[in-house]
Amino acid sequence: MDKVKKVLLTLLIYGALQAAVYAGGNGYIMGHITTCTGLLNNYPADTKNWFYRGQDKIIQYWCYMLFPGAAKSIKIKETTHLFLNPYEMYTGGSSVLGEDTDRYVFENKWIDPNGKVICSKIVNWDKGSASAKKIIIDSKEYIPYIFVNYIEIDTAVAINGQDSLPEKQGLYHINLYVNGKPAAVTFFEMKN
């Protein structure tokens, strides 16, 4: 059992380092990333990295990020679309995306121990639509954003991008991409 704990701790440290490296050159700050059993007031009710069939019903992903508040922005009316087209994002087909620091595409992939994607969700966010809540860090203004997604253990939730159930026992990982680039990874273990 101690060996499993050491492996999980190593993977969590690796995930934190990856988040720091991935987010470093993109202007945003990765805050807290966790899996839990649910949310209370849009905040994790707990933090949990292992889930049991028959005991747990859902696996909740929660990621808190801060995005620069004062940046050059391209107004939505100046673009050809009122949303970010994921196809353009991943193929590089849009000339606007390289310049726009107000619109983001988040992609969340849940991957089982064999490398199969069991859930994938894409969300668009326009920083201009964010609440008036601002955070000051080192004299710079940031706007918080919380990305959440969950899967159920016994029933697939199609609206969340869940294609299949976490049937395999073992270590799963959840990747978060921001504008097509890796931003964070976290892990959880499925047990019987």
User: What tens digit of pLDDT does each residue of 22-61 get?
Assistant: 444 568 899 899 999 999 998 999 999 999 999 999 999 9
Q: Give 75-112 as a DSSP string.
A: -GGGSS-SS--HHHHHHT--SSTTT-SSEEEEEEEEE-
Q: Per-residue pLDDT for 170 more than 90?
A: yes
User: What tens digit of pLDDT does each residue of 128-167 get?
Assistant: 777 668 888 888 889 999 999 999 999 999 999 999 999 9
Q: Which residues contact 50 (CB under 8 A, 6 or more apart)?
A: 188, 189, 190, 191
Domain 2-191 has CATH 2.60.40.3880: yes
The pLDDT of residue 83 is 55
Q: Per-residue confidence at 126, pLDDT binned at 50, 70, 90?
A: confident
